Amino acid sequence: MRISRTAYGTNSLKSKKIIDNIVLFFLFIYISNTASICFEQTFSFALIGLFCAFFLLKKRRVDPFFIGIGIYWFFINFLYSNVFNDSWGFNKVLGGLIPLTISYLGFKIIGSSFWHRFEKWVFVLTVISLVFYGMQLLLPSLFESLSPIFGRFIAEFYTEARPTAWYVFVYTYSPIAGLAYVRNSGFMWEPGAFAMICIIAIIYRSIVYGVKIDKYLIIYVIAILTTMSTAGYLALALYLLFYIRNSEGRIKTILFLLFFICAIPFVFQLEFIGEKLNDYLYNSNVYGTTNARLDTIEYDRFTVFRLNLERLLYYPLGYGVYNIKDDFGYNFVGVNGIATFARMWGIAGISCVLIGIYKTLKKMYGGMYFSWLFVWMLLIVFFSNPIERSPLFFFYLMSFCRIQK
């Protein structure tokens, strides 16, 4: 009888792990935002259906906060359409809840081990991505020749700007014309997004395993360095200060601090750091640039932040799925995840997310000071990525869930 129970328990545990890995596999496809199927509504609803089946199979319960968010989302969209006499589109409004629903179901299915399992997947995919990146540096013509084979898996609008781009789940080949260096997109849609998910993994490991140099930190730091991402480097600099603050031994602390100070001038001489920040801060084009693919105007991150913040202060309740105009009355596009999310969900929505991020980090770490430091690291990478519709952003709201052990 004991053997039978043991066998039953083992089989049950294996089936749970299989379900969790299936969920993580599809979550990473969706988070990568690169595969063509990610932009098909059929795939999104099929994925929600699959996750709902797993949700019921594991006998999970729906949290009131999730229902409340859904009601709030419909409320702000309905209110905006009436206040500004704009048309009401039920399907469009419902589509805005898809990323939140996917992240919620995935998080609840996996349960309390979610962040542990998530980081393990990030590490494995990062290692594989670094291998592919090294091969790309050595064999660039080979990678370009693979485009006819793997190009069918990447979303079409990526290939419009970069015709030879391709995607195979573990790696995104997306060469940027005109650059003297090769940036690593890893398994994400672009280098900045890859740096972002590595920063998230570093924060998790520092909270759970402490601040130490191990193979995980080394791999993540190497990966971030290969992205040449401005936001990634700035977040990494903050983490270095955190490491210096926590390092044992006065001499060791002084040496790290001197190294950090001496490295600053050299880092800011890099094209994607100094010049890019200078362009953002001093050469921001108030008129924007033309986005040929979307036939509209595109603004830089700081201009997008300003425009969204101004519109939010004018109407704090949130614009939902409805677009806003620039200073000249035209539609526009641009990347700034934090500002765009705040404009969509309103002051109440962005406040809830910031509290969720802080509560999640504080719950894992337990300290207030360094929890805020980690929050700033996340805000830096979220600022530079379009995460307003990514499950990756909504995971931090899950501190309000009941998690089954």
298-318 confidence digits (pLDDT tens): 788 888 888 999 999 999 999
- Is the dihedral angle over the CA atoms 176, 182, 183, 188 positive or is it negative? positive
Give the 3-state secondary structure of residue 120. helix
368 pLDDT exceeds 70?
Answer: no
Task: Please say if the pLDDT value at position 9 is more than 90.
Answer: no
Cβ-Cβ contacts under 8 Å for 6 (sequence gap 6 or more): none
> With contact defined as beta carbons under 8 Å apart, do 236 and 224 qualify?
yes
Residue spans per domain, the chain:
2-280+339-400
Q: Output the pLDDT for position 276.
A: 57
3-state secondary structure of 215: helix
- 128-144: per-residue pLDDT in tens? 999 999 999 999 899 99
Report the pLDDT value the prediction gives residue 269, as an integer from 0 to 100: 52
Residues 6+ apart with CB under 8 A from 223: 126, 129, 130, 184, 186, 194, 195, 198
What's the whole-number average pLDDT of the chain?
Answer: 83
DSSP three-state, residue 173: strand
**DSSP 8-state secondary structure symbol assigned to residue 334:** E
DSSP per-residue codes, 390-403 = -HHHHGGGGGGS--
What are the distances in angstroms from CA 4 to CA 8, 9, 58, 368? 6, 9, 22, 48
- Give 320-324 contacts, CB < 8 A, sequence gap 24+: 320/73, 320/76, 320/77, 320/80, 320/93, 320/96, 320/344, 320/345, 321/77, 321/89, 321/92, 321/93, 321/95, 321/96, 322/77, 322/80, 322/81, 322/84, 322/86
Instruction: Give the model confidence (pLDDT) of 224-245 as tens digits.
Output: 999 988 889 889 988 887 777 7
Q: What is the pTM of this model?
A: 0.86
Question: For residue 392, is pLDDT > 90?
Answer: no
Nearest to 227 by CA among 267, 205, 204, 196: 196
Q: Check: CB of residue 125 under 8 Å from CB of residue 28.
A: yes
Residue 250 confidence (pLDDT): 59
Please list, residue by residue across 251-275, b when 16 or more beta carbons sit within 10 angstroms of its beta carbon and e when fewer do: eeeeebeeeeeeeeeeeeeeebbee
pLDDT tens digits for range 80-119:
999 988 888 888 899 889 999 999 999 999 988 899 999 9
Q: Cβ neighbours of residue 130 under 8 Å, at least 6 residues apart?
A: 184, 219, 222, 223, 226
Query: Residue 333's pLDDT is what?
Result: 80
* pLDDT at residue 402 in the model: 57
d(CA 45, CA 57) in angstroms, rounded, equals 18
Give backbone dihedrals phi and psi of 175, rounded to 5 degrees, phi first. -65, 135
pLDDT of residue 290: 58
Whether residue 249 has pLDDT greater than 70: no
User: What was the pLDDT predicted at 8?
Assistant: 43
Q: Which two tokens stand for residue 151?
A: 């190009």
Longest dimension (CA), the chain: 77
Q: ∠ CA 191-192-195 to the nearest 5 degrees?
A: 90
Which percentage of the chain shows pLDDT scores above 70?
A: 80
pLDDT single digits (tens) 142-187: 999 998 899 888 988 888 778 888 999 999 998 877 666 789 999 9
pLDDT tens digits, residue range 17-47? 899 999 999 999 999 989 989 888 899 999 9
Do 101 and 108 form a contact (C-beta atoms < 8 A)? no
